[in-house]
A and B are shown apart, each in its own frame.
Chain A
Amino acid sequence: MFKSKIWQIVKYEYTRHVFRRRFLFSLLSLPFAVIVMIGATLLIGRVSTNTTPVGYIDLSGALANPVEQAPSDDIFDPVIEFRPYQNRDQARADLESGAIQAYYVLPEDYPQDPNTELLYQEEPDSSMQYQFADFVRNTLLSSEDVDPQLVTRLTDGSLITIYSLDGSRQMRQDQWYQIFTPFIAGIMFIIVVMTSGGYLLQAVVEEKENRTMEIVITSVTPGQLMTGKIIGDIAVGLTQLIVWLIFGWIGLKVAGNFFPFLQSFSLPSGYIAGILLILLPAFVMIAALMAAIGSTMTEVREAQQISGLFSLPMTIPFYLTSSIMMNPNGPVAMFFSFFPLTSPITTLMRMSLTVVPTWQIALNIGILFVCAVFAIWFAGRAFRLGMLQYGKKLSLKDVLRKRAE
């Protein structure tokens, strides 16, 4: 039956926030911002890429049988038409009229003589120059009757995957962008924690402000009330997170059409499990600390200012990115991954950079679990002491020293 009372509080706390316009707004604002950003990037990419054809005058005849250019699947690197010209006058006239953006002149002895001219009015994009280089290379190789697969290997290079010695980690060359995962996950974690922590803080202070306290406390224990509120508000945070992840997943699928390299995006399951085991207790710990602060404060505004103090240490690892990246198993990285408030982000970063010894991850999770339990206990105590002290602040000393009334 007591479980069901906790459940009632969870349900109340959850529905109170989730079915509010404000929550819906904050829920949709992030994906909306991301969509706008992606849209703007695509637009800028499209606009800034010059797709005007490029001419070439081949004095050597090496490009007599040009290969067909492969269609591009990258919107930032659209295929540019390469147009052969017989003489410089005509090419120059087209350049001046704007029909072409530039033209190359290959010398008579090409490829023995590599001195190629490029004439333009405005310097073309480097991507166009890479495309022309590929075009020339492919055409030369095709005339030598080389296996087309070999051509591809020669021009594209190898796909290198790095494995750690114990085989627990691997990193593919074309998945370099996964280095950003801990940053994105970290920022999302902080936003979610601060949001649900903020709700919790508000809920606890309100409970004191509107004096419902005495009725509630003669119905349930402070522990039940705190547990219910913490679970409820964490559920609100998780709802937010899940909705964002769904948006992110959809976004990734959509973006994969434009940026093919994103299609290979994947995270090893061990990494995800590790992240969850670290983030969940950290989440509970911070939420409970927020509740404890709420119990000792008398005004929502004041409490929110104090809660800002939590987000600061949480972001410290971001400032230390370079030092953690240089030496992910070094003393700095280790210290910050054991300190409860910096632990989530630091460990996220380390795990994506190196093999973190299992004992360290276990110790990390252990520390966070102990801290989470302590924080809940602390919150319950602060609440019990603070609940009837309307309009009076409670000091840390009071909470730790006073025997529970």
Chain B
Amino acid sequence: MSIIHVNNISKQFGRTKAVDNLSFEVRPGEIFGLLGPNGAGKTTSIRMILDIFKPDSGEISILGGPMTEEKKNEIGYLPEERGLYQDIPLERCLVFLASLKGMDEASAENKIEEYMKQFDLYEYRDKKVKELSKGMQQKAQLITALVHDPSLIIIDEPFTSLDPVNTEMVKDLLEQKRDEGKAIIMSTHQMNQVEELCDRILLIDRGQRVLYGALQEIQSEFASRDILVTPLAPLPDSLPGVSEINKLNGRYRLVLEDAAEPNHVLKDLINQGIELTEFEIAVPPLTDIFISVVKAQEEGDHV
């Protein structure tokens, strides 16, 4: 069963089509990457899922039906437009926002205390929000998205302003939530985070679906027939089944002939007595896929 089921939604602002006939679903227990260039329609899609905007056409089913007030308590949201009440102490701000998610005050206070300790914010709990640094506010906002233990978490650029330590911590937290069976939609431009975290992705451009599916499948779809090897000694100038050998920084990139199989190349290398510390089928970085797909779209438009 899917947590979100989006069916052919479109949304137009004036004459621009922000979202154009988009369909996808998000399942429990996965981190779902929502990717796309700036202005692709990611935020508009999220806002439609959250019932901030109504789609011009199409349907959205969330937690098994249309959005209701009860369901709002089941959703945690870290919006692109960051904002907390600036003029009140951090703890009061967090408790108030948690109470709007249906938490009673006592459990909100307990949970927030726990999270503040985890995020190193506890000693700042009486400080006004506006006195906190950007990174601290970011962490506070993450607490707001997670504190009521929602079954659907929607986060827009969760890692901005976070230092490496906190980034790791948030990543662990998100993975933990996924393992608990929560559905997480993550929108980000940090492709390395997507590669590390996301199970499935949706890439949209100009409101339309460009890529959609399991990350691994997409990557192998785009995989070239290249092998990366790191030998202890330099490689010979030619290898059977290999049409091209490129040396890069102690590593080699081997371009295979059409009929060749990576397994056979590996066997040959071992038979020749070449010791390897690394043998890897080259997976194209998501960044490259992203760029090539978006560029292809643009070129298609120009034809």
Contacts and interface: CB of A to CB of B under 8 A. Distances in A.
Interface string A1-19: 1100100110010001000
Nearest to B86: A210
Could you tell me the dominant secondary structure of chain B's interface residues?
loop
A221 B99 CA distance: 14
B302 interface: no
Contacts of A390: 81
A8 B96 contact: yes
B262 interface: no
B100 A2 contact: no
Contacts of A5: 99-100, 102
A221 B69 CA distance: 8
Contacts of A219: 72-73, 97, 100-101
B52 A210 contact: no
B97 A215 contact: yes
A210 B85 contact: yes
Interface string A100-138: 000000000000000000000000000000000000000
Most B CB contacts (10 A, CB to CB) among A1, A5, A390 go to A5
The 8 closest A-B pairs by CB, nearest first: A211-B83, A219-B100, A214-B79, A211-B81, A8-B99, A212-B83, A210-B83, A218-B50
Nearest to B83: A211
B89 to A, nearest CB: 11
Given A8-B99, A210-B86, A215-B97, 8 more contacts: A8-B100, A16-B88, A210-B84, A211-B79, A212-B97, A219-B101, A220-B69, A220-B100
B56 to A, nearest CB: 10
Given A16-B88, A388-B52, A405-B53, A213 B83 contact: yes
28 contacts: A1-B70, A1-B102, A5-B99, A8-B99, A8-B100, A16-B87, A210-B83, A210-B84, A210-B85, A211-B83, A212-B83, A212-B84, A212-B97, A214-B79, A214-B81, A214-B83, A215-B97, A216-B100, A218-B52, A219-B72, A219-B97, A219-B100, A219-B101, A220-B100, A388-B52, A388-B53, A390-B81, A405-B53
B273 to A, nearest CB: 62
A218 B75 contact: yes
Contacts of A211: 79, 81-83
Most A CB contacts (10 A, CB to CB) among B50, B88, B96 go to B96
Interface in A297-340: none
Interface string B56-95: 0000000000000110110101010111111110000000
A12 B77 contact: no
Given A8-B100, A215-B144, A2 B69 contact: yes
B247 interface: no
Q: How many A residues touch the partner, as a band?
A: 20 to 34
B43 to A, nearest CB: 10
A24 interface: no
Interface of A: 1-2, 5, 8-9, 12, 16, 206, 210-221, 387-388, 390, 405
Contacts of B84: 210, 212
Most B CB contacts (10 A, CB to CB) among A216, A219, A390 go to A219
Interface of B: 47, 50-54, 69-70, 72-73, 75, 77, 79, 81-88, 96-97, 99-102, 144
A217 B52 contact: yes
B102 A215 contact: no
Nearest to B84: A212
B62 to A, nearest CB: 11
Contacts of A12: 96
Contacts of B88: 16
B96 A215 contact: no
Given A16-B88, A388-B47, A405-B53, A215 B99 contact: no
B53 to A, nearest CB: 5
Contacts of B47: 214, 388
Contacts of B85: 206, 210, 212
A218 B81 CA distance: 13
Contacts of A8: 96, 99-100
A290 B294 CA distance: 47
A225 B50 CA distance: 17
A388 B102 CA distance: 24
Contact of A215 (B51, B54, B73, B83): B83
Nearest to A225: B100
A214 B145 CA distance: 12
B72 A218 contact: yes
